[in-house]
Amino acid sequence: MTKPLRGLSLLAAMAATISAVPAMAQMPEPVRTMLEAAMESGDTSALAAVARFAKQTNPQHSAEIDDMVRGYLASLAAEKEAEIRQAGMFGNWTGSGELGGFITTGNTDSTGVSAGLSLERRGIDWLHKFRAIVDYQRSDNVTTRNQWMASYEPNFTLNNTIYAYGLAMYEKDRFQGFSDRTTVSGGVGVRLIQEENASLDLKGGPAWRRTIWLGDPDTTEFNTLAGADLRWQLSPAFEFKNNAQALWSSGNSTYNNTTSLTGKLNGSLSARVSYAVRHETAPPIGSEQTDTITRATLVYDF
Q: Supply the CATH number for residue 232's domain.
A: 2.40.160.40
Domain match, 56 and 166 both: no
Same-domain status, 227 and 262 = yes
Same-domain pairing of 57 and 103: no
**In the chain, helix, strand, coil percent, each to 5?**
25, 55, 20
Burial group, residue 265, by CB count within 10 angstroms (0-12, 13-18, 19+) = exposed
Structural domain tally of the chain? 2
212 shares a domain with 180:
yes
242 and 221, same structural domain? yes
Task: Classify residue 48 by its DSSP letter.
Answer: H
Which one, of 50, 49, 51, 75, lies nearest residue 65 by Cα?
51
Tens-digit pLDDT profile for the chain (302 aa)? 444 444 444 444 444 444 443 445 688 888 888 888 888 888 888 888 888 988 999 989 888 888 888 888 888 777 776 776 676 666 788 999 999 986 766 665 778 999 999 999 988 889 999 999 999 998 888 888 889 999 999 999 999 999 999 999 999 998 888 999 999 999 999 999 999 899 999 999 999 999 999 888 999 999 999 999 999 999 999 999 999 999 999 889 999 999 999 999 998 999 999 999 999 998 888 888 998 888 999 999 99
What CA–CA distance (Å, rounded) separates 262 from 277?
A: 18
The confidence score (pLDDT) of residue 20 equals: 42
Report the pLDDT value the prediction gives residue 24, as an integer from 0 to 100: 52
71 and 138 within one domain = no
In the prediction, which pLDDT does 107 show?
Answer: 61
- Could you tell me the pTM of the whole model? 0.73
Final residue of a structural domain among 29, 57, 86: 86
Domain finish residue from 86, 108, 141: 86
Rounded to the nearest 10 degrees, what angle do helices 29-41 and 44-57 cross at? Answer: 170
Q: Is the domain of 108 the same as that of 223?
A: yes
Domain end marker among 69, 86, 103: 86
Could you tell me the sign of the dihedral formed by the alpha carbons of 280, 260, 115, 142, in that order? negative
Domain that holds residue 36: 3-86
Let me know whether 101 and 81 are in one domain.
no
Residues 125 and 216 in one domain: yes
Same domain for 245 and 116: yes
Measured torsion, CA atoms of residues 215, 217, 218, 221, in degrees rounded to the nearest 10: -130
Bridge partners of residue 157, in order along the sequence: 163
Q: Both 149 and 18 in a single domain? A: no
Task: Tell me if residue 40 falls in helix, strand or coil.
Answer: helix
Are 11 and 156 contained in the same domain?
A: no
